[in-house]
Structure 1
Amino acid sequence: MEHVIIDFEKYRTPGAKVFIGRDRGATVRTESKVDELASQHERITIRIPKDIRSINPSFLEEFFYHLIPLLGKDKFLKKFNFINADRYKIEDDLNEAIDRILRKENALA
């Protein structure tokens, strides 16, 4: 299959305005099956609920923990698309998470 959507609405705590923390990122990674979906689909869209104010880099770091080292930054950014109602801009938090993951990978090499 070419494309799949992961809707973060399904994984947020009722009423929450943020996704935060490594533990929550790991839980959502497991529940959404993002690792499996990434191996089965060319493109993945992450739908961010319109009233979300922030997605913490630590959450993203754990959510994408396996995928960023596997794909590298450029392929990751081509494979994953993020959509919302333009209230929250994920780019800064996402880039910080990507950089953290890649720094850890280089430190271990």
Structure 2
Amino acid sequence: MEGILSFFMIVAVVAILAGVGIEFMNYLLKRRLIRSGQLDEPYLRLLTRKNNLLSSLKWGILLLFGGAGLIVIGSLSLDWERSAVPWGIETVFIAAGFLVYYLIASRNKTD
């Protein structure tokens, strides 16, 4: 079980570092555009960032379904090291979360 936890910790740290790196690169791009005086319409769209409410919904749904998958795996008491079934169960739950998000997002776009 410790191997699984260390794997998830490494994934979490890499994801956080990637997010920080992306935000920093976006900051550098915006600063360079402002300094160069390139303030045409396409460049202004790069500088303004819309707060997408569906993005927060996506992560909430994914965490909810991922947690539900972990609860199901814990209640079945399957062996992580010898069986691929727990990985499959978690993958199915996360995929179901993505599908639910897609249905909600596609309904929101058409309205």
The two structures have a TM-score, normalised by structure 1, of 0.27
Structure with greater Cα Rg:
2
Q: Which has the higher contact order (CA 8 A, sep 6+)?
A: 1
Which protein is richer in strand relative to its size? 1
